[in-house]
């Protein structure tokens, strides 16, 4: 399973990525992945804490536990981190998140060129 352990607000949390988390966030937000990426770009203040919250929530659900904090707490904790949205915890989370979205995408092979162009 794609996941990362990060410490925020003095507590170590496991953040899930992968198919289950992606399905969960699509259901909960009503957005497809392209729309979610657009929202992350257009309103990071709302969607970065939300994505991180759902990721942590999914990790807890997998082991039969529930969270003892809200998405609003997550936003507050990010804001308290040095650098806020450019803090290590946010950057590491989104590095893992981005890798999980692209890890199984096959790399396109360059097309074979014969050296002759069609006219």
Q: Model pTM?
A: 0.82
| CB contact at 8 A, 7 and 89 | yes
pLDDT surpassing 50 at residue 105: no
Gap between the Cα atoms of 50 and 109, Å rounded: 36
Helix (H) or strand (E) holding 71: helix 71-80
Q: Where are the alpha helices (DSSP H) in 1-119?
A: 18-29, 33-42, 44-62, 71-80, 88-102
Q: Among the listed ranges 9-13, 31-35, 80-84, 106-110, which one has the minimum average pLDDT value?
A: 106-110
What is the tens place of the pLDDT at every residue in 50-89?
A: 999 999 999 999 999 999 999 999 999 999 998 888 899 9
pLDDT value, residue 98: 87
User: Which among 13, 2, 16, 3 is positioned nearest to 81, based on CA atoms?
Assistant: 13
3-17: per-residue pLDDT in tens? 999 999 999 999 999
Q: What is the average per-residue pLDDT within 28-47?
A: 94
């Amino acid at each position: 399973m794609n996941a990362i352990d990060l410490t925020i607000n003095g507590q170590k949390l496991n953040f899930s990525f992968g198919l289950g988390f992606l399905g969960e966030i699509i259901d909960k937000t009503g957005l497809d992945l392209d729309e979610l990426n657009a929202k992350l770009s257009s309103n990071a203040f709302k969607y970065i804490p939300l994505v991180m919250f759902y990721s942590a929530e999914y990790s807890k659900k997998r082991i039969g536990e529930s969270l003892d904090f809200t998405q609003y707490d997550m936003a507050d904790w990010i804001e308290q981190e040095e650098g806020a949205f450019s803090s290590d915890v946010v950057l590491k989370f989104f590095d893992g998140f981005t890798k999980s979205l692209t890890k199984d995408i096959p790399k396109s092979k360059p097309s074979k060129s014969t050296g002759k162009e069609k006219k």
